[in-house]
Amino acid sequence: MKVSTGQTEERANMARSAGVSLAEAFPQVAATWFQERNGGLTPQKATPKMRVAAWWRCPAGHQWEENIFTRTVLAKWKNGDAAACRECVGYRVPYSYPKCGHTAMITSEAASKKRTRCWKCQQTWWHDNEERLKAELSAAAKDAASRAAALLDAVPVPEDVPVPLATEWRWWAAKQVQGAIAAEEVLDKDGECDLVLERVVRVAARLLPTWETAARAAEVDGVLKLVGQAHWAEGWMHQLAGRGPQPVAAEDRENIGFVLDAVLADWSQSAARAVAEDRARGDLAPTTAEITRSLTQAVASMTDHEVFAPIAPYVRTYRELRLPVVPDGKGRYGRVDVVIWIPGGPDIVVEIDSAPNAASAQKLAFARDVGAWPLWVRFGSGGIKEIDGVVVLDIREAVRGVREAGS
């Protein structure tokens, strides 16, 4: 790279204003200065803190361009020698990518992965083949289900891990391993499965949450992090402690039911107006999925009600929190539509369904037994099942009015 006269003068001015020169502060680094490629800038004019790219050449003849400031930093790989060359110490090695033919200086760790294309070529190749590759990866991952299962059967899982958590880990681990097998087959990522299995085994070894961990999570913000997912900490605390049912008093359940009923009544009026306006513009009636999303937002805003005003700054609302329960016929943990965490008081657990759902009934019964306010919002088709200790809000007529508004 040739440096212009103007650039040289600018660099010299920078050096003079910064004080001590590179030659004085780091003579061993200055000795690797490649003057022929640095124009009029010299180690005597340059300073150690200049953030300017310069060329360097080590005694072995390796040449590279690097910022002066980073060149003088004593990085770990230099082993105490500020003037060290990455290639000489083996930190960077030349590697030729077999499929694109490019050669680059990369870390020995990166070279050990034996990538077939450099990063730029890999991105271009993926962009040109993305649709086909995604389809092939999906098919290969499905075909790898039995192989992944066999590999996971050999992974030791602590015997006292709660069944729901072990189930969740198995589901997560299977997806990881199946994806790794597919990546090896479709993307030529050698060793990917071994790397993923190492991570899966590490997670399995630390699966078991303790009573102390769950209690701390329940006290701080109501959420326990397990296998990278957020869980309802109160439920885990009770399960790990082995506590029996502690249902909320019937009068308290009814009171919180009245609050949510008022919130949903306001929702039905505003939603009906919005649907009528949409229809006037020629839109169709809202789908069940759209109604569910709108109801979820309304339930999550329940804490805006005046009854929550004194504690509103401390309350937290979560969606899709996991529970330590696997409903009948399910292969994974259960999830709750809305959980409102109230510090020092019962949490509010809400399920929203457009049809009878046995899994929802089980999740709400679990929430009831560990001392929450369990609420079931029902709309759409099917009958309404009463559950002992669970407040069921029948809003079928209100939702019907929302759907028919403006028709």
Is 5 a residue whose pLDDT tops 60?
A: no
Query: SS in 3 state form for 208-268?
Result: CCCHHHHHHHHHHCCEEEECCEEEEHHHHHHHHHCCCCCCCCHHHHHHHHHHHHHHHHHHH
**Per-residue pLDDT, 90:** 80
Q: Is residue 270 part of a domain?
A: yes
Cβ–Cβ < 8 Å for 334, 363: yes
Give the 3-state secondary structure of residue 338. strand
Could you report how far apart the first and last alpha carbons of the chain are, in Å?
Answer: 72
**Per-residue pLDDT, 74:** 84
* Whole-structure pTM value: 0.64
pLDDT tens-digit map of 184-235: 999 888 889 999 999 999 999 988 888 888 899 989 999 999 888 899 999 9
Q: Is residue 202 part of a domain?
A: no
pLDDT tens-digit map of 23-74: 999 999 999 999 999 999 999 999 998 999 999 999 999 998 999 999 988 8
pLDDT tens-digit map of 63-80: 989 999 999 888 888 888
Q: Is residue 132 part of a domain?
A: no
**Per-residue pLDDT, 106:** 82
> What mean pLDDT comes out for the span 282-306?
93
Cβ–Cβ < 8 Å for 317, 303: yes
**Mean pLDDT score across all residues of the chain:** 88
Of the chain, the percentage scoring pLDDT greater than 90 comes to: 56
Residues 6+ apart with CB under 8 A from 218: 224, 233, 234, 236, 237
Q: Which of residues 40, 60, 87 is at a domain's end? A: 87
Q: Could you tell me the CA-to-CA distances from 250 to 136, 157, 369, 370, 391 in Å, in that order?
A: 55, 41, 13, 15, 9
- Give the sheet arrangement for strand 373-378, strand by strand: 223-226, 229-232, 316-323, 334-341, 348-353, 373-378, 391-394
Domain that holds residue 397: 250-404
Return d(Cα 329, Cα 385) in angstroms, integer: 19
Which position has the higher pLDDT, 89 or 317?
A: 317
Q: Is residue 148 part of a domain?
A: no
Return d(Cα 352, Cα 299) in angstroms, integer: 9
**Per-residue pLDDT, 2:** 40
Q: Is residue 370 part of a domain?
A: yes
Residue 398, both tokens: 């209100």
Q: Is residue 302 part of a domain?
A: yes
Handedness of CA 74, 75, 77, 79 (dihedral sign): positive
Which of 223, 295, 309, 221 lies closest to 260 in space, CA to CA? 295
What's CA 380's distance to the chain center, in Å? 33
Is 17 a residue whose pLDDT tops 70?
A: no
Q: Total domain count for the chain? A: 2
How many other CB atoms sit within 10 Å of the CB of residue 180? Answer: 24
- Residue 14 pLDDT level (bands cut at 50, 70, 90): very low
Q: What is the dihedral of CA 113, 116, 122, 125, to 10 degrees?
A: -150
How many other CB atoms sit within 10 Å of the CB of residue 44? Answer: 13
Return d(Cα 91, Cα 105) in angstroms, integer: 9
pLDDT tens-digit map of 144-191: 999 999 999 999 999 888 887 888 899 999 999 999 999 999 988 888
**Per-residue pLDDT, 47:** 92
DSSP code of residue 321: E
**Per-residue pLDDT, 226:** 86
Q: Is residue 137 part of a domain?
A: no
Q: Which of residues 87, 102, 133 is at a domain's end? A: 87
Which position has the higher pLDDT, 105 or 368?
A: 368
Which position has the higher pLDDT, 6 or 202?
A: 202
What angle do the packed helices 288-300 and 250-280 form, to 10 degrees? 130
**Per-residue pLDDT, 242:** 79
- Residue 19 pLDDT level (bands cut at 50, 70, 90): low
165 φ/ψ angles, rounded to the nearest 5 degrees = -70, -40
Q: Which of residues 37, 53, 87 is at a domain's end? A: 87
Q: Is residue 153 part of a domain?
A: no
